[in-house]
Structure 1
């Protein structure tokens, strides 16, 4: 546990020392603030559903920028081999990078809670869907970061890692849209793999164990594959 804490602190310091994290956070909050203001003044309704969906889309586009350096940069600079020869396990390395990146993403989400407080100050929002929506965003972010780390572990090129992550996210996003083209039982598999299909009910305030299980299971699978890939080096 002590080793994991040390690695986590190292990875978090590396993220905070890089301008990438601040740039991504600034873009995220600026776009979200613009959307929130436009939506609020247009609809005059105390509802965050559109903003939560906007955060869903922005995270798909921006998380790959945060995860692309995780392993790709270390492989390119040949520091990954030094790290793997240190007396630390592959799982600790993966979990430390995962926790550090996820901390930044959740910090961005936490900053957006200001919009919910504004709605509560000047209106009467329904807090049930808001709580469920932020739970969905946390689970969504955990999956995106895990998959992003997996893709970064496959290549030493950061651009390729980002492209692989975005491609995977988009395929998961639109998985259910091609289900009608597939024969049984593959059509059901495509529907169950749909990212938006598991995210949308939670944002509406309906939290199902199957949706939570999807994000948790997929995240654990991605982290396992990333750890297994490192162990094979």
Structure 2
């Protein structure tokens, strides 16, 4: 447990000492703040549904930048072999990197809570959809980070790792648009792989076990595959 805590602290320190983390947080908050302010004054409705869908898109664009270096840089700098020979398991290594990356996602979500606070200050919003929206974004972020970790573990090139994970995210974002063209039961299977289909209920205030299970399954599967990829090294 102590070695895992040391490893987690090392990964979190490395992530938050990088300017990329602060650039991503700044850009994220500026874009979301502008969108929130503009939409609030145009619609005059105390709702964050539009913000959640925009966060959904921004997370897909920023998650590859967060995860691309986690394993690819270690492999490029020849430090991954040293890490794998340390008295910690591959599972501990993957979990430490996963939790460190998730900590940045959590910080971004916490900071964006200022928008919900503004709604509560100026109006009387329904907090049910706000709670479910943030819960959905947390699950969605975990699935993205897990996928990004797997991409980073498969290559020594950070750019390639980012492009792989971004391509997967975009494909799973729009796949439901093509799934309806397939014959049954393939159409249902393909549509159920869509990230947007499973996130949409959270944004509008509904939580279904099937959607929670989907994001948890993606997260656990990608982490397991990442562990397997490290074990083969």
Under a length normalisation based on structure 2, what TM-score does the superposition of the two structures give?
Answer: 0.98
Q: Which runs of 5+ in 1 are unaligned?
A: none
1:6 is displaced (CA, Å) by 1.1
Q: Which residue of 1 aligns with 2:20?
A: 20
Q: Which residue of 2 aligns with 1:166?
A: 166
> Equivalences for 1:7-156 in 2 at 5 Å?
7-156=7-156
1:185 is displaced (CA, Å) by 2.6
> CA offsets, 1:175-216, max 9 Å, x none?
211112323332111111110001001111110000000000
Q: Distance in 1 between matches of 2:93 and 2:185?
A: 37
Q: Which runs of 5+ in 2 are unaligned?
A: none
**RMSD, aligned CA:** 0.8
1:16 is displaced (CA, Å) by 1.1
Q: Which residue of 1 aligns with 2:199?
A: 199
1:212 aligns with 2:212: yes
> CA offsets, 1:133-182, max 9 Å, x none?
00000000000000000000111111111100110001111121111232
> CA offsets, 1:47-97, max 9 Å, x none?
100011111110000111010000000111110011111111001000000
Q: Alignment length, in residue pairs?
A: 233
Q: Distance in 2 between matches of 1:138 and 1:2?
A: 27
SS of equivalent residue, structure 2 residue 180: helix
Q: Distance in 1 between matches of 2:177 and 2:3?
A: 44
Structure 1, 168-177 or 135-144: larger mean CA deviation? 168-177
SS of equivalent residue, structure 1 residue 72: helix
Q: Distance in 2 between matches of 1:222 and 1:86?
A: 23
